[in-house]
Amino acid sequence: MSSNGESSVGFGIGLESLLSGLKKRGEYRKFAVLRRMASAPSLAECFGHSALSADVELGPDGFCEPGADEFTVWCSNDYLGMSRHPVVLAAAKAALESCGVGAGGTRNIAGTNVFQVLLEKELAGLHQKEAALIFTSGYNANEATLSVLGRYLPKCTIFSDELNHASMIAGIRSSKATCRIWRHNDVSHLRSLLENAPRDGSKLIALESVYSMDGDVGPVREVCDLAEEFGAFVFLDEVHAVGLYGSSGAGIAAKNRQGARIDVLQGTLGKAFGVQGGYIAGSKVIIDFVRSFAPGFIFSTALSPVLAAAALASVRHLVSSDYERDRQRENVCLVKSTLREKGIRFLDQPTHIIPVMIEGAERCVSVANKLMRDWNIYAQPIVYPTVRRGGERIRITPSPFHTERAIVRLGDALSEAIWESGGFAD
């Protein structure tokens, strides 16, 4: 850098130009500043929008200034409201009082907290696998695991569904393994790629069970059939399915009785389980290998014992309770019925994710803003790069705690907002 700082100024201008491009395309993101309410899982207080944390003013008590409006939240991944469940809150409070907040460092240096061990044992049992390993996020779990498997499996080729999550793509790229992209959910295309792969190399097929933006389901059984035929490993991301589907909430693979055929199952603690963190489950050898060789695990601070204890309580509760899942499914059906009656276009998939399609980033954002401004409804617009341009949407995720009145109101609000933004699509 020159002494007068000219290169720094130029660098800043370049970044500002990129940000300006986002704004012109309607893809610049501001976050709704919320305080979610523990006493009401579908509600939150909203303090406006902010692009940067510095934009938010704090009151003398350390919280945002009073006077915020109360909003109904329709886009949370806390699918079952478990982040506010009394059993989960009690477990977190007990761990806080006994262990403190932080993990103290990586597990290699600071040691492993007993709640981490118990959680891994519970997760292994949930998926009927020999072992499990927890990470600080689902992104971390995917990136670290795929990276190390692709790097160390001999002559590895990874076959990745074209709509796999960014964390899976990052792990595959980091592995430097050969990668072949198969068309989304197209098992015929996957077969042709497997037929043309080197016979002497390792093969790993990576897919998701529930795709988070469209809400469709991956062809798990068919992929397992191909994996057996061609001697491939199967890596299945179940983050939008664990807690929700299958026996005891074990996911789509368990629901379809394919769990034993999955080599590595990846899940999250931050969605249906309502806490934070990610994990993998598989054989003892695979789990021990990832634990011993993956930099993303070795060099990351461990999951807080408070979060581990809370997640443990949540998993144990959902193993034995169908109440939350049953109520959520009832509300999913009611929301879909309401949208159909209003003539609102959405992707009708066999899952809990309801994408309301609103093409055009600016239009999608304007609809979401009207929902907030006029109806006190928070439903985040989904634009590029999360979805392709032209595939913009508002992603609705009903919870067990949305009332029938709130669902009717959502239909009225979407109908008005979409009509005013340009009408309904054919």
Residues with catalytic roles: 271
SS (H, E, C) 106-145: CHHHHCCCHHHHHHHHHHHHHCCCCEEEEECCHHHHHHHH
The H or E element that residue 192 is part of is helix 187-195
The H or E element that residue 172 is part of is helix 166-175
Instruction: For the sheet with 31-36, list strands across it.
Output: 31-36, 43-50, 69-73, 377-378
Q: Determine the 3-state secondary structure of 198 from DSSP.
A: coil
The H or E element that residue 296 is part of is helix 295-298
Q: Which of 158, 133, 161 is nearest to 296 (CA)?
A: 133
The H or E element that residue 180 is part of is strand 178-182
Q: Which residue has the tokens 């109520």?
A: 327
Neighbours of 48 (CB within 10 A): 16
Determine the Cα–Cα distance for residues 85 and 81; give it in Å rounded to an integer.
7
